[in-house]
Structure 1
Amino acid sequence: MNRFHVHLNVADLAASIRFYSELFATPPAVLKPDYAKWMLEDPQVNFAISTTGGAQGIDHLGFQVDSAEALATIGRRLDAAGGTGVPEEATICCYAQSDKLWTEDPQGTRWETFHTFGEATTYHAGDAPCATDGAVCSPDVSSMKPRPEQATSCCAPQSGCC
Structure 2
Amino acid sequence: MTSSPAFPAAHEFHMSLRVADLARSTAFYTAFFGLPPKDRTARYSTFIVPHLHLNLVLLVNDRGEALDTYSLYHLGLGVAGKAEVIAAYHAAVAAGAEIVKPPRTTWRGTPLHELWLRDPSGYLLEVYA
Give me the TM-score of the superposition, normalised by structure 1.
0.57
| Number of residue pairs the alignment of both structures matches | 104
For 1:59 and 1:84, the matched residues in 2 are separated by 16
2:52 paired residue number? 43
Pair 32,72 (structure 1): closer, same or farther in 2 beyond 3 Å: same
| Secondary structure of 1:108's aligned partner | coil
Identity of aligned residues (%): 29
> Which has more strand, going by share of residues?
2
Instruction: Show CA shifts across 1:46-98 (max 9, x none).
Output: xxxxxxxxxx94210131122221111111110111013322523256x7531
Within a 5 Å distance, the mapping from 1:13-32 to structure 2 comes to: 13-32=22-41
| Alignment pair present for 1:89 and 2:98 | no
Q: Is the 8 A contact 1:89 1:100 kept in 2?
A: yes
Is there any run of 5+ residues in structure 2 with no aligned partner, and where? 1-9, 55-69
Pair 79,31 (structure 1): closer, same or farther in 2 beyond 3 Å: same
Deviation at 1:42, TM superposition (A): 1.1
Pair 3,96 (structure 1): closer, same or farther in 2 beyond 3 Å: same
| Secondary structure of 2:73's aligned partner | coil
Give me the TM-score of the superposition, normalised by structure 2.
0.70
Give the number of the structure with larger relative contact order, counting CA–CA contacts within 8 Å between residues 6 or more apart.
Answer: 2
Within a 5 Å distance, the mapping from 1:1-150 to structure 2 comes to: 2-44=11-53, 57-85=71-99, 86-87=101-102, 89-92=104-107, 97-115=111-129
Is there any run of 5+ residues in structure 1 with no aligned partner, and where? 46-55, 116-162
* Structure 1 runs of 4+ with >4 Å offset: none
Q: Is the 8 A contact 2:98 2:119 kept in 1?
A: no
